[in-house]
Chain A
Amino acid sequence: MNDDHIDFGSLDPLRDPERVERALRKIARRAAPLLAARRAPRTAFQQVARWRRPMLAAAAVIMIASVSALLRFGGSSAESAPPTVAEVVGVPSTLAGWVRSDSLPTPGEIVVSLETTQ
């Protein structure tokens, strides 16, 4: 043993074994339900919850990569503009324009519009 040691024997909790055993029993009592819960089979939700941290980290990485890719390569030109709902459904653009403008077309305009779409 090293002679420089300070003798902390009087502060040693193991000096009073009964007291230490009481403390250890108290810890064991309080820990028992927690250990029992660990022995119980996990539900699907608990299984997923265990992966929450890696999943959050992965989501954050994907988000950062997506945002940086959009900022770098995302164009603002009309060519890359997304199609409107009317275009996707197949409504003629003239008709969609009338609906948006809230103005009534003349019968002649309707006929012309239908002819051009056919």
Chain B
Amino acid sequence: MADTPPVPDRELVQRARVGDAGAFDTLVRRYYRAAYAVALSACGSAMDAEDVCQDAFIKAIERLDDCRDPSRFGGWLLRIVRNRAHNLREYQRVRSGPPVDVVNPASDADAARATELGELRGRLEEALAELSPVQREVVLLHDLDGWKHREIAEAIGTSEGMARQHLFNARKALRARLGDTAVREHIHE
């Protein structure tokens, strides 16, 4: 089956600018996971990351005329995500203590699997929290959403070499952290 080439961002942005809901929906679907990855790297909580994503997409459609280079919509959107995440963190810091992530109870019968998954998520989130914001963003964009080094470098405003370096350092730190946890668990058993 021959795959039709994806519609370029530039065209989708131009169509969304004149109110094409389908074009906007395609952009949202194309960048949802990347936006989520950046929001998660900034907020550290899945619930907050979802809220930040939604707000960021709405802000993006409001300000779509300000996107000077529609072919780089992704990088432009991620800047909005970072700003929204920063605003949310500031709001939470002023208003109360640290954000509380509500864990949804398992909806299916496989509660054990859900618990295991929740624990794994918790460990990953803790390990990610040890990284610098840029390292978190790079490793999540690369390993979660499959972005290329060049795309990441453009999105975070650095060189490709630096993006690679951030990724290397992030993975090294994560492996050290997750490895340590595993060792400790083994000893406790």
Is chain A's interface secondary structure helix, strand, loop, or mixed overall?
helix
Q: Which residues of A contact B117 (CB under 8 A)?
A: 10
CB of A8 within 8 A of CB of B143, answer yes
Indicate if B147 sits at the interface (CB-CB under 8 A): no
For chain A, the bracket of interface size reads 20 to 34
Q: Which residues of B contact A37 (CB under 8 A)?
A: 19
Chain A, Cβ-Cβ closest to B168: A4
Binding site for B on A (CB under 8 A): 4-8, 10-14, 20, 23-24, 26-28, 30-32, 34-40, 50
Identify 26 residue pairs between A and B in the complex whose beta-carbon atoms are under 8 Å apart, listed by A's number: A6-B143, A8-B140, A8-B143, A10-B117, A10-B121, A10-B124, A11-B46, A11-B121, A11-B125, A11-B140, A23-B53, A23-B54, A28-B24, A30-B54, A31-B58, A32-B21, A34-B58, A34-B61, A35-B20, A35-B21, A36-B19, A37-B19, A38-B17, A38-B19, A40-B19, A50-B65
Binding site for A on B (CB under 8 A): 16-21, 24-25, 28-29, 32-33, 36, 40, 46, 49-50, 53-54, 57-58, 61-62, 65, 117, 120-121, 124-125, 139-140, 143-144, 171, 174-175
